[in-house]
Amino acid sequence: MKVYDKIRSFILAMALLLTTFLFQGCDQGALGFVEALHNIVGGASDLLTSFHNFATGNTWAQYKEKTQEARRQASISPSRMCVALDHSSGQLSSLQVDMDHVRDRFCTCKAWGTCGKGNCSCDTLCPDNFEILNRGGQEMGPTDKEDFVIRNNAQDFAGVHNMTGGLCWGLAAMNSRFNHLAFFQPAKPKPTFPDAESRGRYYRYIVDSIRNNSPLDIDGFSNLKEFSSDTQIREILADVIGHEWGRQAISFQGISSISTSSPLDSEDAISLVNDLKYRTENFQTPSLLFNVKGDAAGSAHVVLVTEVRNGPNGTSILCIKDNAMAAITNNNCGNQMIVERSSGKITYKSTGNADEEVGFAQIAHNENSDVVSQINALRARCLADKSGCYRSIFQQETMDIPRDVF
């Protein structure tokens, strides 16, 4: 978002307090009211962050340039990319043995960049571009294992938030952040606690850290589906997801972005498809904000896009991860948007529902800032983790939970 938009957002933020109640029922409106206040207070901070990111070359567009330049350099100097040692000669030289020892000790290639365990080089383990988002063997969302058990319905939030509308934006944002930042460690035992209160503080810290785009190890769980199935954790997630909905939806950007349900024209639809395709091919699962053609202004839904495919007869297919649907229906591109490139018409074909023509659609306003924050956090963690390879200015850090949390 441009700087002047940030300024406008901050100046007009007081209008959110009234708009919250116009667009939501009283129960969910109260939640939105609290988050609207936070958005007003946070407006100045966001503005300063935008200036800082621009000045330091850390905007989404600048990371796109860095990614393209890194790949251009790699094509010119492939030796800088991950180079496998040649073991085919049978007898390893002492130098090769030493190199293997150094690699095994320091270059573990643990989900940083695109290096594999047997073929990493220290200069590419912590890329300062979109490559740092590549989680290697950990899937980025095409199966229900990388999704919440919690769905976008009142039953799943009962006792935590009284839903009179949907909390889809909070679910989508938190799902994407967990897919990028949660390092599940099933081989490690789950921590033990003296009581339920201590356990709650521990897992609240984890969920809040992921919400704030900080990477963490999560011991004793295999994936997000298992993690969110735990009764106590599920309640914590439901609470945080509700507040995240408010932070995104009840903001000037969120409300202004759903002021129309008019469909995109062909040019805008093609531009959107191309942007989504680039993002999904560069290890991102962008949040897509849309509404149904003809719906009243103010209605909207947020889903994740996991893949963009070429379809028949000049169409593009968006593979959709929809938190309003059963998680398993998102597997293998089970929910799709079909984009007719010639006309711009977008049709949502979701499992078990009649086809709907999409009205307005755009990438959610939080997407770019989330990606930038995740790159910065993952790279800092990677540089610390690979300190044997890098003479890093970062102090050695861990992904452990501070002991004073519980």
Query: Using an 8 Å Cβ cutoff, are 247 and 38 in contact?
Result: yes
- Residue 344, helix vs strand vs coil: coil
Percent of the chain residues past pLDDT 70, beyond the cut: 65
Q: Which of 86-100, 211-225, 365-379 has the lowest mean pLDDT?
A: 86-100
Q: State both tokens at 24.
A: 């939501």
- Most confident of the following: 3-17, 28-42, 46-60, 355-369: 355-369
Q: Which of 123-127, 188-192, 319-323 has the lowest mean pLDDT?
A: 123-127
The yes-or-no verdict on residue 103 having pLDDT over 70 is no
Query: Using an 8 Å Cβ cutoff, are 112 and 126 in contact?
Result: yes
**Predicted TM-score of the model (pTM):** 0.81
Average pLDDT over residues 52-59: 62
The yes-or-no verdict on residue 294 having pLDDT over 90 is no
The number of C-alpha atoms within 13 Å of 278 and in the hemisphere containing its C-beta is 14
The number of C-alpha atoms within 13 Å of 14 and in the hemisphere containing its C-beta is 1
pLDDT band at 316; cut points 50, 70, 90: very high
Q: Which of 119-128, 141-150, 151-160, 333-342 has the lowest mean pLDDT?
A: 119-128
The yes-or-no verdict on residue 96 having pLDDT over 80 is no
- Residues whose CB is less than 8 angstroms from the CB of residue 314 and which lie 6 or more positions away in sequence, other chains included: 340, 341, 342
d(CA 200, CA 95): 51
- Residues whose CB is less than 8 angstroms from the CB of residue 343 and which lie 6 or more positions away in sequence, other chains included: 266
Query: Using an 8 Å Cβ cutoff, are 322 and 292 in contact?
Result: no
Query: Using an 8 Å Cβ cutoff, are 338 and 311 in contact?
Result: yes
d(CA 4, CA 1): 8
Q: Which of 89-98, 133-142, 176-185 has the lowest mean pLDDT?
A: 89-98
The yes-or-no verdict on residue 353 having pLDDT over 60 is yes
Q: What are the sequence ranges of the domains in the chain?
A: 256-364
Q: State both tokens at 79.
A: 């030796």
Task: Name beta bridge partners: 216.
Answer: 182
According to the model, what pLDDT value does residue 81 have?
A: 43
According to the model, what pLDDT value does residue 68 have?
A: 93
The yes-or-no verdict on residue 321 having pLDDT over 70 is yes
Q: State both tokens at 13.
A: 């933020």
d(CA 230, CA 29): 28
- Residues whose CB is less than 8 angstroms from the CB of residue 354 and which lie 6 or more positions away in sequence, other chains included: none
Query: Using an 8 Å Cβ cutoff, are 324 and 151 in contact?
Result: yes
According to the model, what pLDDT value does residue 124 have?
A: 66
Which is more confident, 402 or 217?
Answer: 217
- Residues whose CB is less than 8 angstroms from the CB of residue 1 and which lie 6 or more positions away in sequence, other chains included: 9, 50, 253, 365, 368
d(CA 209, CA 397): 15
The yes-or-no verdict on residue 323 having pLDDT over 60 is yes
pLDDT band at 9; cut points 50, 70, 90: very low
According to the model, what pLDDT value does residue 75 have?
A: 73
According to the model, what pLDDT value does residue 385 have?
A: 72
Amino acid 182 reads A
d(CA 207, CA 242): 13
Amino acid 32 reads G
The secondary structure of residue 220, as a DSSP letter, is T
Residues 129-132: contacts with CB under 8 Å, at least 24 apart: 129/63, 129/66, 129/67, 129/70, 129/375, 130/63, 130/64, 130/67, 130/282, 130/283, 130/284, 130/371, 130/375, 131/67, 131/70, 131/283, 132/375, 132/378, 132/379, 132/382
Mean pLDDT of the chain: 78
